[in-house]
Chain A
């Protein structure tokens, strides 16, 4: 899969950009704050409907845009896939009228999505473009809060599994409603018997989420373990451990499929079995939920841990081990996504090459050499080997402009 054409309007520091993208590696170089990363961000946004960097979409809109006009930003791309005819995806972010005078971060944005010119939902956008992104900040997958790892699983699964994505949206909506209801019950404004419907919604969707994550992690673990062994010279054994906030068991055997370390990834549970047990647990622990005013069990509280040689990396690992594990996980994700969609996703590597030693740089570049399209950013193009630079298209990025080299000028 690759992007043939990218257009940006008022996106970050790009006032307007229309550019055709070649296949193969594209090396974006230039000083800091010129707009290299913004190009990667735009593509990532089209793939996932969110930015990898910011939590408020308002920041994506060009800060030089005329403040008197309605603020908006537009990202569009033409995507070529082996399985579909050329498709054109487009996202427009428009500031909602009436919100003009509210605080910048608080104001709401309308997201308009068009696929081949037809207005669509966010849900339909996700999966049109498949990307895997490598970022220096990926280290939070080991060192960060549990929510970072849940977010990682959600985004990865959403890109390939529309059912998971629908379930996630339903789950989040039902969770918000149930939590609000719990607080109303605690305040004496509602009765516990009103919980029934929300429990059911939560469990149906939650079952799909847990089963989906189990499937993902089983595959990721096999692949990540192999990469990690390569990178660590065979010394280290990487494990992924999913630790659910309640204990779903396989239905027929009656045996606990929960181990001390987490869910047994090799004994796949059915979403409907998980849902039934989830409802039971929600009902059993209702009192606690009401007292705390929030739902304490479910996929929104589950944990993913990374272990090396049986020891928890987040707690006992060194920085170096954490970096290796993250790279293993990301390369596993890449391989997994390629298997899941049947073709290479687009790769986005933001400044990660500079952080690696020569051996790992070579290993990474070798692993991704088969990709149809790779966008890399760097401030120092010299760190790449001459062979790589030979193959790559090099673009100099300066102040929101792409400066393409004339033929022969290098």
Chain B
């Protein structure tokens, strides 16, 4: 960076640049916007950032991000504790919640198996899931990892680990997007949909 820019400005630009989806241009724009904006904005932002790490933790039951332990979903007696949806990331919990149709609980793995990125099963919350099932009360584990190679590898590994417990293990169906056009669906998706067809 040029000498014309004070160190504290450079620091923030570089910090922003390390965020996903932010390039050097966006980082500069955000920084100079904050410089011109009222003090209150940067103070709120700073406080929010500080709270983000200090006030949150993993839920000791489902490993979702939470401020109180156990998390609100795990505490909610109205939710069915016998069903557990297993997802890769906390954002996936939100996605399933948006359907409004699921009334069971969750388990967040925090990633998927990917040897290239150095992520093995022991880096995920798989052992914790097996322990949770062993403690009893869970009748069905619904695996909702992403439908890619890494997600599938994770699903298969989880299924094998759970097999000795005798719990029912299911996997989300894959197939055609609603409102889609058959002609434009790629052949792999169509093949899966064909394999996963059901009686009507």
Partner of B116, one of A124, A170, A180, A190: A180
A97 to B28, CA, bound (A): 13
Pair A177/B149 contact, Cβ less than 8 Å: yes
In the assembled complex, the CB of A303 is this many whole angstroms from the nearest CB of chain B, namely 27
Chain B, interface size category, equals 20 to 34
B186 contacts which chain A residues (CB < 8 A)? 121, 123-124
In the assembled complex, the CB of B18 is this many whole angstroms from the nearest CB of chain A, namely 10
Pair A190/B24 contact, Cβ less than 8 Å: no
Partner of A180, one of B22, B115, B121: B115
Pair B116/A197 contact, Cβ less than 8 Å: no
Pair B115/A190 contact, Cβ less than 8 Å: yes
Q: Say whether A198 faces chain B, with CB atoms less than 8 Å apart.
A: yes
Cβ < 8 Å to A, chain B residues 9-36: 17, 22-26
Q: Say whether B102 faces chain A, with CB atoms less than 8 Å apart.
A: no
Do A197 and B120 form a contact, CB below 8 Å, given A177-B114, A180-B115, A190-B115? no
Do A194 and B157 form a contact, CB below 8 Å, given A177-B116, A184-B115, A184-B118? yes
Do A178 and B115 form a contact, CB below 8 Å, given A98-B23, A197-B153? yes
Pair A184/B120 contact, Cβ less than 8 Å: yes
In the assembled complex, the CB of B54 is this many whole angstroms from the nearest CB of chain A, namely 29
Cβ < 8 Å to A, chain B residues 131-155: 149-150, 152-153
In the assembled complex, the CB of A110 is this many whole angstroms from the nearest CB of chain B, namely 12
Q: Say whether B43 faces chain A, with CB atoms less than 8 Å apart.
A: no
A162 contacts which chain B residues (CB < 8 A)? 187
Q: How many residues from A make CB contacts under 8 Å with B?
A: 27
In the assembled complex, the CB of B179 is this many whole angstroms from the nearest CB of chain A, namely 16
Q: Say whether A292 faces chain B, with CB atoms less than 8 Å apart.
A: no
A190 to B153, CA, bound (A): 14
Pair B24/A100 contact, Cβ less than 8 Å: yes
A121 to B184, CA, bound (A): 12
Pair A201/B118 contact, Cβ less than 8 Å: no
B150 contacts which chain A residues (CB < 8 A)? 177
Q: Say whether B156 faces chain A, with CB atoms less than 8 Å apart.
A: yes
Q: Mark B143-184, 1 if CB is under 8 A from A, else 0.
A: 000000110110011000000000000000000000000001
Q: Say whether B49 faces chain A, with CB atoms less than 8 Å apart.
A: no
Do A174 and B149 form a contact, CB below 8 Å, given A189-B120, A194-B120? yes
Cβ < 8 Å to B, chain A residues 315-343: none
Q: Say whether B188 faces chain A, with CB atoms less than 8 Å apart.
A: yes
B187 contacts which chain A residues (CB < 8 A)? 162-163, 166
Closest residue of chain A to B22, judged by CB?
Answer: A98
Q: Mark A361-390, 1 if CB is under 8 A from B, else 0.
A: 000000000000000000000000000000
Closest residue of chain A to B187, judged by CB?
Answer: A162
Q: Mark A186-207, 1 if CB is under 8 A from B, else 0.
A: 0001100010111001000000
Q: Say whether A308 faces chain B, with CB atoms less than 8 Å apart.
A: no
Q: Mark A113-131, 1 if CB is under 8 A from B, else 0.
A: 0000010010110000000
B120 contacts which chain A residues (CB < 8 A)? 184, 189-190, 194
Q: Say whether A173 faces chain B, with CB atoms less than 8 Å apart.
A: yes
Closest residue of chain B to A195, judged by CB?
Answer: B115
A123 to B188, CA, bound (A): 11
Q: Mark B95-131, 1 if CB is under 8 A from A, else 0.
A: 0000000000000000001111010110000000000
A190 to B123, CA, bound (A): 11
B156 contacts which chain A residues (CB < 8 A)? 196-197
Q: Say whether A181 faces chain B, with CB atoms less than 8 Å apart.
A: yes
Pair A197/B115 contact, Cβ less than 8 Å: no
Closest residue of chain A to B117, judged by CB?
Answer: A180
A201 to B152, CA, bound (A): 10
A44 to B188, CA, bound (A): 26
Query: Sorted from nearest, which 8 A-B pairs have the closest CB atoms?
Result: A97-B23, A181-B115, A180-B115, A98-B23, A180-B116, A197-B153, A190-B120, A197-B156
Subset of 29 A-B contacts with CB under 8 Å = A97-B23, A97-B24, A98-B17, A98-B22, A98-B24, A101-B24, A123-B186, A166-B187, A166-B188, A173-B149, A174-B149, A177-B114, A177-B150, A180-B116, A181-B115, A184-B120, A189-B118, A190-B120, A194-B113, A194-B115, A194-B120, A196-B156, A197-B152, A197-B153, A197-B156, A197-B157, A198-B115, A198-B153, A201-B153
* Residues in chain A within 8 A of chain B (CB atoms): 97-98, 100-101, 118, 121, 123-124, 162-163, 166, 170, 173-174, 176-178, 180-181, 184, 189-190, 194, 196-198, 201
Supplied contacts A177-B150, A194-B121, 8 more A-B pairs, CB within 8 Å = A97-B26, A166-B187, A177-B116, A180-B116, A180-B118, A194-B113, A194-B115, A197-B153
